[in-house]
């Protein structure tokens, strides 16, 4: 079973993304939602196993970049199993970070076809 963590501070958007993911992914998939970067960090620190994290880039408190850095510093393989989601409202330094870290970024608004393609690439790359 695939396990995906969705991180977005807007609960309605997070729940919508969860439903979109379930519509896109074939096979058994569990999608958990965290409505803050702090909650996501706690879930990930608890040792809950995920195949992929889809995270809003800009959030109050712990944002997507900080969550990524925490994953990278801890040596978590999820640092390379992450997709950022953004509405495009982010700083020049955040844009440079995303480009240099080579983290896939899904730009809002997106449709099911775009999400399906990104999920397929991310999850297929995780297969042994």
In order along its 128 residues, the chain shows pLDDT tens digits of 899 999 999 999 999 999 999 998 877 899 999 999 999 999 998 877 899 999 999 899 999 999 999 999 999 989 889 999 988 766 788 888 888 888 888 988 888 999 999 998 888 765 44
Which neighbouring-strand residues pair with 34?
7
Provide the CA 57 distance to its chain's centre, in angstroms: 9
Domains in the chain, start-ordered, CATH in brackets? 2-91+102-124 (3.40.50.2300)
DSSP states along 80-97 = GSEEEEE-S---HHHHHH
Provide the CA 84 distance to its chain's centre, in angstroms: 5
- Supply the pLDDT for residue 95: 80
- Supply the pLDDT for residue 127: 45
DSSP SS3 for 60: coil
Indicate whether this model's pTM tops 0.85: yes
């Amino acid at each position: 079973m695939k396990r995906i963590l969705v991180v977005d501070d807007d609960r309605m958007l997070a729940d919508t993304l969860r439903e979109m993911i379930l519509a896109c992914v074939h096979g058994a998939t569990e999608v958990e939602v965290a409505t803050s970067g702090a909650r996501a960090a706690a879930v990930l620190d608890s040792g809950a196993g995920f195949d992929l994290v889809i995270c809003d880039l800009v959030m109050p408190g712990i944002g997507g970049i900080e969550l990524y850095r925490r994953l990278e510093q801890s040596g978590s393989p999820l640092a390379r199993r992450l997709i950022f989601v953004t509405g495009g409202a982010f700083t020049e330094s955040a844009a440079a970070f995303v480009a240099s870290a080579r983290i896939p970024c899904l730009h809002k608004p997106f449709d099911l076809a775009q999400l399906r393609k990104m999920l397929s690439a991310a999850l297929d790359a995780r297969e042994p």
